Amino acid sequence: MPIEMHPTRWGDPARASALPEATRGLVELVFPVIDRTVGDDEAVAIPTSRLPDEVVAELYGIVGARHVLTDDASRRLRTRGKSTPDLLRARAGDLSDAPDAVVRPGSHDEVQALLGVAARHRVAVVPFGGGTSVVGGLVARRDGYAGVICLDLLRMDRLLDVDPVSMTATLEPGVRGPQAEALLAEHGLTLGHFPQSFEHASIGGFAATRSSGQSSAGYGRFDAMVVGLVVATPAGTVRLGHAPASAAGPDLRQVFLGSEGAYGVITAVAVRVRALPGERRYEGWHWPSFDAGVEAMRTLAQSQLLPSVLRLSDENETALDLAHPDSIGSAGDGPSGGCLMIVGHEGTAATVSARRTAVSAVLAGLGGTSVGEEPGRRWAAGRFDAPYLRDSMLDLGVLVETLETAAHWSRLRSTYDVVSAALKASLGEPAMVLCHVSHVYETGASLYFTVAAPEGDDPLGRWTAAKRAATQAIVGVDATITHHHAVGTDHRPWLEDEIGALGVEVLRAVKHAVDPQGILNPGVLVP
Ligand SMILES: Cc1cc2nc3c(=O)[nH]c(=O)nc-3n(C[C@H](O)[C@H](O)[C@H](O)COP(=O)(O)OP(=O)(O)OC[C@H]3O[C@@H](n4cnc5c(N)ncnc54)[C@H](O)[C@@H]3O)c2cc1C
């Protein structure tokens, strides 16, 4: 069974830890430290479940009473997602968005039947995968609805099919990242999708948010891996993806990828898989500046010579080495100053060797300096740990949050500059703004910002203002409001800036066709 995450913290409670002494010392040097540790939240009140009895009885009839949970603990564990605002609200004792019931279907047909009940009684339905949304994607509007159901897909966790000839596999939506890799590994296969939330997020969630993982340079974004989908909607079932490619009109898979539970419940995902790599080599390259490293990334992307993992930290992030709190403040690897790039190769020994030789020649030719495998090994070992660091910082009264965007190469630097400036201006001294590039394309790349600032009297208000300023800056330079976190409720006010008024009308028209009563995740995605 996957670990159920505490509403005020990330991940596995057994892995939570206080900051190492050296890091704490550094934090105390920069920020005013206050004790903001939160205790057991059992005492925090959540609203009483208000689902009408007749609805509960009908839900029992579909999934059985033991899969309809209305107790406080079950509802508390599925309140909102895991953005810093979500954690701050829970830490402040605000669990007002708790669902009225958690329903756990075991099959597509049960999902379809549940949607029928919800539509008849006008109950809002929030599909719930791993609960790692960072954009308010799990907070449905309540007014005008008889209640809110969290449709927890954790029981739908099977590998349904493997086609080793076509190299595809079909997974149910509740399969978590590690479980997907374990199931595929039994067949000598891998999906290659490793977002930082990998340990908790689900296949359905990856599809519903158009997620992108740390190995996207080699394996592609999640939406590029999807070959087929089955979606239960209140208007019926949609089955898509019968051939490797098709010219049968617009690609409707793209309508449901990124639909964030607002168009239907994804009940099966067919994905392209690859052979499990026999060899993995991650190594570090040092660049004299962020610009020099970015230029090298562009060259690789435009030469179609990408490694499996390619990420570049800016000067600030390199100096802090966020993945390794143990070594924050120490000298680190290689030359001081400048920027660290992680370059990872995966495949057979022969392909790793050939690609590594070719990539290294390009990087060395552009002024990069190899700093060996140790930084790569350390990055790989700590790649899923940073969210635990956020909790430790929140415990010290330091606000930590991230945001991301993407821009064409010709505008990447200006996007970096305006977003950094907006965050710094909004948060003031002594805020820190760090950035890395971790998803590259022939035409551009993503920028992922991390901020740390004193939480002040109103941490939520402080972050909301900073996020608004950064998003306005992003819109101002025509970059995207989100490269891989999705829209949710947080980015919805700016969706029209990105896709235009007619684009919003198209989204509304699709919503009306598949969800005429508007019960699916109301208020999420569609303005
Ligand atoms: C610490 C941290 C690190 C992260 N790192 C990354 C990263 O590296 N890359 C990245 O892309 N994202 C990242 N995210 C964001 C998040 O993990 C992704 O958006 C992920 O894809 C969500 O998956 P989930 O299963 O947790 O979905 P949930 O959070 O449960 O749901 C997300 C949205 O999808 C909908 N949904 C979920 N399942 C279904 C379904 N089966 N059918 C229809 N709708 C559904 C929900 O209603 C909701 O709107 C990170 C988040 C955190 C907290």
Q: Which two tokens stand for residue 56?
A: 């509960």
Closest CA to 524 of 174, 147, 103, 135: 135
pLDDT of amino acid 513: 98
b/e 476-505 (16+ beta carbons within 10 angstroms → b): ebebbbbbbbbbbbbbbebbeebbeeeebe
Say if CB 272 and CB 168 are below 8 A apart: yes
Identify residue 395 by its one-letter amino acid code: D
Cα-to-centroid distance, 478 and ligand 1 (Å):
25
- Which residue from 513, 399, 417 is spatially nearest to 460, judged by alpha carbons? 399
Strand ordering across the sheet containing 226-233: 159-163, 168-171, 265-272, 226-233, 236-240
Structure tokens at 127: 């599909």
- Residue 105: the pLDDT is 98
Least confident of 7-16, 49-58, 391-400: 7-16
Q: What is the pLDDT of residue 7?
A: 85
Mutational test site, ligand 1, from 114, 196, 238, 447, max ligand atoms within 8 Å of CB:
196
Q: What's the CA-to-centroid distance between 132 and ligand 1, angstroms?
A: 5
**Residue 443 pLDDT > 70:** yes
Q: Would you state the pLDDT for residue 336? A: 67
pLDDT bracket for residue 41 (50, 70, 90) = low
Q: What percent of the chain has pLDDT over 90?
A: 90
Pick left, alpha or beta for residue 505 (phi over 0 → left; psi -120 to 50 → alpha; otherwise beta): alpha
- pLDDT higher than threshold 60 for residue 498: yes
Q: Which of 88, 102, 176, 211 to mutate to test the pocket of ligand 1 (most atoms within 8 A of CB)?
A: 211
Q: How many C-beta atoms lie closer than 10 Å to residue 55's C-beta?
A: 21
What integer is the mean pLDDT of 38-47? 75
Backbone angles phi, psi at 497, to 5 degrees: -60, -35
**Which pairs from 321-324 meet CB under 8 Å and 24+ separation?**
322/386, 322/389, 322/434, 322/450, 323/378, 323/379, 323/382, 323/383, 323/385, 323/386, 324/378, 324/382
Residue among 288, 346, 514, 509 at smallest CA distance from 501: 509
Is 138 near ligand 1, meaning CB less than 6 Å away? yes
Question: Could you tell me the pLDDT band of residue 43, with boundaries at 50, 70 and 90?
Answer: low
Please compute the mean of the pLDDT values over residues 488-493 and round it to a whole number.
98
pLDDT of 333 over the 80 cut:
no
* Minimum CA distance residue for ligand 1 atom 14: 197
212, 475 Cβ separation under 8 angstroms: no
Helix (H, G, I), strand (E, B) or coil at 212: coil
Taking CA atoms only, the protein residue closest to ligand 1 atom 10 is 211
Residues 19-31 pLDDT 10s: 888 888 889 999 9
Question: Is residue 304's pLDDT more than 80?
Answer: yes
In the numeric block, the tokens 């992030």 are attached to 317
Cβ of 5 closer than 6 Å to ligand 1, yes or no, is no
| Nearest-atom index, ligand 1, CA of 212 | 11
Parallel, antiparallel or unpaired: strands 226-233 and 236-240: antiparallel
Contact at 8 Å (CB) between 257 and 207? yes
Q: Does the pLDDT value for residue 40 go beyond 80?
A: no
Q: Hunting for tokens 């974004």 — which residue is that?
A: 221
Distance CA 406, CA 482 (A): 7
pLDDT at 328: 47
Q: What is the pLDDT of residue 331?
A: 39
Give per-residue pLDDT as tens, 232-291. 999 999 999 999 999 999 999 999 999 999 999 999 999 999 999 999 999 999 999 999
Cis peptide before 277 (omega within 30 of 0): no
DSSP E strands, 16-123: 68-69, 101-103
Ligand 1 neighbourhood includes 260 CB (under 6 angstroms): yes
Closest C-alpha among 95, 105, 99 to residue 138: 99
- 173 CA: nearest ligand 1 atom: 41
User: Picking from 38-52, 341-355, 394-408, 426-440, which range would have the lowest pLDDT averaged per residue?
Assistant: 38-52
Cα angle 126, 131, 133; round to 5:
90
Q: Is the shortest distance between the CB of 88 and ligand 1 below 6 Å?
A: no
**The whole model's pTM is what?**
0.97
pLDDT exceeds cutoff 90 at 335: no
Please check the confidence at residue 123 and state whether its pLDDT lies above 60. yes
Query: How many C-beta atoms lie closer than 10 Å to residue 207's C-beta?
Result: 27
pLDDT of residue 332: 46
Ligand 1 pocket member 196 (CB < 6 A): yes
Say how far apart CA 316 and CA 313 lie, in whole Å.
Answer: 8
* Structure confidence by residue, pLDDT tens digits, 347-390: 999 999 999 999 999 999 999 999 999 999 999 999 999 999 99
Q: Which two tokens stand for residue 503?
A: 């684009």
Q: What angle do CA 447, 442, 304 make, to 5 degrees?
A: 125
Structure letter (DSSP) for residue 5: P
The closest residue, in CA terms, to atom 34 on ligand 1 is 260
CA–CA dist 156, 47 (Å, integer): 28
DSSP state of 194: -
Q: 158 C-alpha vs ligand 1 centroid, how far in Å?
A: 19
Distance 94 CA to ligand 1 centre (A): 22
Closest ligand 1 atom to the C-alpha of 204? 41
